Amino acid sequence: MHKINKNSKVVLNNGVEMPIIGLGTFKSAEGEQVVHEVGWALEAGYRLIDTAKIYGNEEGVGRAIKDSGIPREEIFVTTKLWNTDQGYESALLAIDESLKKLGMSYVDLYLVHWPTASADTKESLNKRQDTWRAMEEIYRSGKARAIGVSNYMIPHLDEMKKYATVVPAVNQVEFHPFLYQKELLNYCNKGGIALQAYSPLLHGEKLGDERISNVAQKYGKTNAQILIRWSLQHGCSPIPKSVRKERIENNIDVFNFEIADEDMEVLDGLNEDLHVRANPYLLK
């Protein structure tokens, strides 16, 4: 694991290469904020930018990528299908809307954002089969180089086996030491699904935990860098977010050290099934 660097790739189950680390843009405001944030990230060496329709910032993400001068094919762009766009016809329309806002002819990864078609994540309306049929068509059309899911737990992935002809390339879930989803990680690894870690920094919650600080001091790193490195060493692709330039730069400075096994065990032991976002296991 120590041989990975910021240019390392995850080879997805269809052969597409995805950068090992990316920038998340959840809660980044449309306009100058997200344009600056993405621009700083690209300058710092990030080559994966993650957005979603519900974030409301696809236009700014697309603008920042265009303004960067970096060839489009060198940047891996992810966006997501929102709950209320689930279903066959509506999903086909939604990808076109996202591409128009991004100013792109394709995305590298298109994800079903949640396993529910409800307007929020407190209820669960199942349109997963029709939605995935549209996702497979989007994939075949070339509008997405890879397709996947987000917030899918083992029951949802088991259900997919009944109707999917294309195995999801990625499952993007909340993953950090306080929500160490070991069973889900093993399931995805066995099934050839790359696990991507959102909220690797818990939106700041627990970031100052003394047990993380003790590990960080040992390596001369920040607590955030320890959490990101922990995800990497579990074979996940973390997508930390920040709107501050120095933190964006620090969050990718995680490739010049390796957390020892005994310290990984300490961090693994922090698990308390803490969801800082909604709990997808509640969605049937």
Q: Which residues are catalytic?
A: 55
Distance of alpha carbon 10 from alpha carbon 4, whole angstroms:
10
Q: In whole angstroms, what is the distance from residue 235 CA to residue 229 CA?
A: 10
Q: How far is CA 54 from CA 31, 35, 106, 232, 269, in A?
A: 15, 17, 18, 27, 34
- Specify the 3-state DSSP secondary structure of 117: coil
What are the residues facing 112 on neighbouring strands? 81, 149
* Burial annotation 251-274 (CB, 10 A radius, 16+ → b, else e): bbbbbeebbeeebbebbeebeeeb
